[in-house]
Amino acid sequence: MSVAKGLEGVVALTSQISSIIDGVLTYRGINIDELAEKANFEEVAFLLWNGRLPSRSELDRLKRQLGEEAELPPDVLAQVKSFPKDIHPMAALRTAVSSLALHDSQAEDNSSDANLAKTIRLTAQMPTIITALYRAREGLEPVAPRPDFGYARNFVYMLHGKDPDPVAVKAIDKALILHADHELNASTFAARVTTATLSDIYSAVTTAIGTLKGPLHGGANERVMMMLEEVGTVGRVEEVITRKLDNKEKIMGFGHRVYKDGDPRAKHLREMSRQLAEQTGDSTWYEMSVIIEELIERKKGLKPNVDFYSASTYHYLGIPRDLFTPIFAMSRVTGWTAHILEQFSDNRLIRPRAEYIGPTHQAYVPIEER
Ligand SMILES: CC(=O)SCCNC(=O)CCNC(=O)[C@H](O)C(C)(C)COP(=O)(O)OP(=O)(O)OC[C@H]1O[C@@H](n2cnc3c(N)ncnc32)[C@H](O)[C@@H]1OP(=O)(O)O
Ligand SMILES: O=C([O-])CC(=O)C(=O)O
C-alpha cells in the first residue's frame, strides 16, 4: 500500500457539481467569476442543486420557499436562546442543525422529493439560527424572518433588526456565491462519507459543520481577523508577521491544498474589501491585509485563499468575527446538500484502507500482571 498523507492528489469520486481545472473554479461548468458578477445567491443555490440555472418563475418560487421556510420550530428557537452565552457559534450551529432533525417529520425519509424539501428548509433555517443565537447572546430578542426578503437581505435584517443598506446586502450576497461550493473540500467530503452510509441529510450537514469549524478549513476566516487585530496598525505588519513566520506559525488565510497559483475567489473579496474601506473611510483593515499579502508572497511564495479578504470584508460590514465561519456555513450548506443529493443518487459506501504501522504479535497480559 502507498499512503497519500491527507489524501493529497487522491481522486475519491466523480462529481458534476463544481470543478477546479488549471486554477479555474466553475459551478456546473459556469466560471465563478461570471457568477460572482452577474448571479444572485438563490440562482446559484438552484444551479448547484439542479444542474442548471432557474427560469424566472423557478427562481421566484425558490426565493418564496426560502423565505417561507426560514422560521425555526419553537423548540429549536427556545434551545438556541438557552445556549450558554460563551460558546462558539459554530458549536451552537452544529447542535441546532442536529436538533432540527428532531422536529422534521421527513427527517428519516431519504426519497428524492423529501431530500430536496429538506435541503431547501435547512438552507432557509441556517441564517435564522445564526442570527437568533447572536441576538440571544447580546441580550436581544430574535427577529422573525421576512418571507418577502431575499436570503442575504434577510440575514442582515435578522442580525441587526433593521432593513439593511443595499450595499451590505449585495456584498453578503456576493460572498455567499463565492463560498457556495468547492469540489471535494474537507467538509463536503465529510458530508459525503456520512451520506454514503445511507444516513440522513441532517446527520451529513451536522458532520460538515463540525468539519468546516476547524482553523485549517472554514475556521480560518475568524483567525485571519484575530491576526489583523493582533497586528493592529499598518506599521506593525512586518514585525508581527515576521515573528509568526520565525515561530513556524501558519499564517491564516494563506496557502491551499489545490491552488498553488492563487485562489480565484480571493480577488473578488479583495476588491470588496477595498470598496468597503473606501465607503467606510476606514482603510486600515484593507491596507494591513494588502501589506500582509505582499509580505507572505515575498517570504513564503504563498497566496491568499478565500478566507483572507473575507475577514476584512465582513468586518467592514459590522459582522462580529465569530460569525464569519457560520456565514461560510450558511452559504456552503448549498454545496454540501448538492453533494449529498449527488451521493444519494449513485451511492457506494466510502471506506478507504489504513496502512497499519503499530506493533504486531503482542500477547494479552492479564491485568494483575501489568
Ligand atoms: C476555505 C478553506 O478551507 S481555504 C484554507 C483555509 N485554511 C487556512 O487558511 C489555514 C492556513 N493554511 C494552511 O494551513 C495550509 O495552507 C492548508 C491547510 C490550507 C493546506 O495545507 P497542505 O496542502 O497540507 O499544505 P502544507 O501544510 O503541507 O503546506 C506546504 C508547505 O507550505 C507551508 N505553508 C502552507 N500554508 C502556510 C501558511 N498559511 N503559513 C505558513 N506556511 C504555510 C507549510 O508549512 C509547508 O511548508 P514545509 O514544506 O516547509 O513544511
Ligand atoms: O477546497 C478546499 O480544500 C478548501 C476551500 O477552499 C473551500 O472549501 O472553499
Instruction: Print pLDDT tens along the chain (370 aa).
Output: 789 999 999 999 999 999 999 999 999 999 999 999 999 999 999 999 999 999 999 999 999 999 999 999 999 999 999 999 999 999 999 999 999 999 999 999 999 999 999 999 999 999 999 999 999 999 999 999 999 999 999 999 999 999 999 999 999 999 999 999 999 999 999 999 999 999 999 999 999 999 999 999 999 999 999 999 999 999 999 999 999 999 999 999 999 999 989 999 999 999 999 999 999 999 999 999 999 999 999 999 999 999 999 999 999 999 999 999 999 999 999 999 999 999 999 999 999 999 999 999 999 999 999 9
Distance 103 CA to ligand 1 centre (A): 40
Known active-site residue 165: no
Task: For ligand 2, say whether the CB of 257 is within 6 Å of any of its atoms.
Answer: yes
Q: What distance in angstroms lies between residue 253's CA and the mean position of ligand 1's atoms?
A: 9
The protein residue whose alpha carbon is closest to atom 15 in ligand 1 is 255
- Specify whether 163 is catalytic: no
Distance 48 CA to ligand 2 centre (A): 16
Which domains does the chain show, CATH number per domain? 14-214+322-345 (1.10.580.10), 220-316 (1.10.230.10)
Q: Is the pTM of this model over 0.90?
A: yes
Quickly list DSSP for 161-181.
SSPPPHHHHHHHHHHHHHHS-
Closest protein CA for atom 21 of ligand 1 = 257
The verdict on the CB of residue 121 being under 6 Å from ligand 2 is no
For 258, other C-beta atoms within 10 Å of its C-beta total 15
- What single DSSP character describes residue 304? B
Smallest CA separation from ligand 2 atom 3, residue = 185
The verdict on the CB of residue 182 being under 6 Å from ligand 2 is yes
Characterize 182-191 residue by residue with b for buried, 16 or more Cβ atoms within 10 angstroms of its Cβ, and e for exposed.
bbbbbbbbbb
Residues with CB under 6 A from ligand 1: 6, 216-218, 220, 250-257, 300, 302, 305-307
CA 20 to ligand 2: nearest atom: 1
Q: How far apart are the first and last CA of the chain?
A: 34
Measured CA to CA, the distance from residue 316 to residue 165 in angstroms comes to 13
Q: What type of residue sits at position 40?
A: N
- Cα angle for residues 340, 177, 129 (degrees, 5° grid): 65
The residue whose CA is least distant from atom 11 of ligand 1 is: 252
Closest CA to 323 of 120, 80, 133: 133
Q: Where are the alpha helices (DSSP H) in 10-165?
A: 32-38, 41-50, 56-68, 74-82, 89-100, 112-137, 151-160
Q: Which three cell numbers stand for residue 249?
A: 506559525
Dist CA 290 CA 279 (whole Å): 17
Strand order in the sheet with 30-31: 18-21, 24-27, 30-31
CA distance readout (Å), 227 to 55, 258, 285 = 43, 24, 11
d(C-alpha 216, C-alpha 28), whole Å: 26
Q: Indicate if ipTM > 0.90.
A: yes
What is the tally of helices (H) and strands (E) in the chain? 16, 3
